[in-house]
């Protein structure tokens, strides 16, 4: 049976990839900082028992018990590692910059230096972000100069450069990927789309930073997972693959669309507030190389994806509470 090792498997994207790979008959070994993932936010709960048997999970804090991660890697000897692990909140990277750098850079370098000496690893797929380029009116081809606007983006820029360095000097088998905003069912309510749906269902106001005029592209979870599978099968070591949909839409338009689905007048509920520090205006990603080399394309339109998230939300409405809207980083 084919095997994949997923760092950060209890994250939104990690959980979806675990579910996707198990359905593709892969054996999955996953680890995360937290071992708690509520059913309402965990798609793996929908799997058949026979599929879940092929999933091994262990809890690890990469900053505090790195030796535990080492032991599991030596035990399973994965040929493919997918890396979601890290502090992923922009606002918290401003509040806790040291912790963000320790988690996203220093502990990762320790991991890479451990893996360099092992010959079982064939592909290390790093999930990065287009935020390393900052705001731009031109398409990011992948070769643009890095211009991060936040500590979070700076950590990704730093670790990308380090990975490419050890790929060049020590043949470390890295593949870098940068995805547009991914969304789908089971996403926590402090994220844009599920939060807007939650607010619209409850007829509450939605506060948009900077008026919501930033443009973004959104990728549904199924398309995101297929992109990772394509990199596992066809991705070339040392390459960078960028993934985007061909639909670009302002944050305000996303929220307006959601309120209109609930037959509410967006003008009555959307409130503009000052923008966040370091907020990039536009991310326009050039993914032509990815589409050509990996034969990848996004199949789920934004309208269909939003409909699927609505359906998920309605099925779990009674289980949500005020705490689900808030993200608190743990130190």
Q: Which domains does the chain have, with CATH numbers?
A: 3-182+221-243 (3.40.50.720), 184-216+247-285+303-321 (3.90.25.10)
Q: How far is CA 323 from CA 190, 314, 326, in A?
A: 10, 18, 6
Q: Which helix (H) or strand (E) holds 11?
A: none
Which residues touch 235 (CB under 8 Å, ≥6 apart)?
123, 125, 175, 241, 294
Q: 211 φ, ψ to 5°?
A: 80, -5
pLDDT value of position 38: 60
The answer to whether the beta carbons of residues 206 and 196 sit under 8 Å apart is yes
204-263 residue pLDDT tens: 999 988 888 888 899 999 999 999 999 999 999 999 999 999 888 999 999 999 999 999
pLDDT tens across 45-59, in order? 777 787 888 999 999
Q: What tens digit of pLDDT does each residue of 129-170 get?
A: 888 887 766 565 666 678 888 999 999 999 999 999 999 999
pTM exceeds 0.95, yes or no: no
- Residue 174 is classified by DSSP as E
| Each residue's pLDDT tens digit, 299-324 | 999 999 999 999 999 888 777 777 77
Question: Where does residue 44 rank: exposed (0-12), middle (13-18), buried (19+ CB within 10 A)?
Answer: buried
Q: What's the token pair of residue 175?
A: 């593949």
């Amino acid at each position: 049976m084919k095997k994949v090792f997923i760092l950060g498997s209890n994250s939104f994207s990690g959980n979806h990839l675990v579910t996707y790979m198990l359905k593709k008959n892969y054996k999955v070994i996953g680890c995360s900082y937290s071992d708690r993932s509520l059913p309402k936010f965990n798609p793996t709960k929908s799997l058949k028992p026979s599929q879940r048997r092929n999933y091994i999970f262990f809890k690890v804090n990469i900053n505090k018990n790195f030796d535990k991660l080492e032991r599991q890697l030596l035990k399973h000897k994965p040929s493919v590692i997918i890396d979601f692990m890290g502090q992923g909140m922009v606002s918290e990277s401003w509040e806790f910059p040291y912790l963000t750098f320790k988690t996203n850079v220093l502990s990762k370098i320790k991991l890479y230096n451990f893996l360099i000496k092992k010959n079982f690893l064939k592909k290390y797929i790093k999930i990065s972000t287009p935020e390393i380029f900052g705001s731009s009116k031109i398409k990011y081809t992948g070769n643009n100069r890095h211009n991060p606007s936040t500590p979070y983006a700076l950590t990704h820029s730093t670790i990308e450069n380090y990975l490419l360095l050890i790929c060049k000097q020590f043949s470390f088998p890295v593949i870098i990927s940068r995805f547009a905003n991914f969304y789908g069912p089971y996403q926590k309510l402090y994220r844009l789309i599920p939060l807007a749906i939650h607010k619209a269902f409850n007829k509450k106001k939605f506060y948009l930073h900077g008026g919501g005029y930033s443009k973004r592209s959104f990728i549904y979870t199924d398309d995101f997972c297929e992109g990772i599978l394509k990199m596992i099968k066809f991705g070339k070591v040392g390459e960078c693959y960028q993934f985007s949909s061909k639909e670009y839409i302002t944050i305000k338009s996303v929220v307006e669309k959601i309120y209109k689905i609930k037959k509410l007048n967006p003008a009555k509920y959307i409130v503009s507030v000052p923008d966040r520090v370091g907020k990039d205006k536009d991310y326009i990603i050039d993914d032509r190389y990815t589409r050509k080399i990996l034969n990848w394309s996004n199949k789920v339109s934004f309208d269909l994806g939003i409909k699927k998230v609505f359906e998920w939300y309605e099925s779990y409405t009674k289980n949500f509470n005020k705490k689900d809207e808030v993200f608190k980083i743990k130190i």
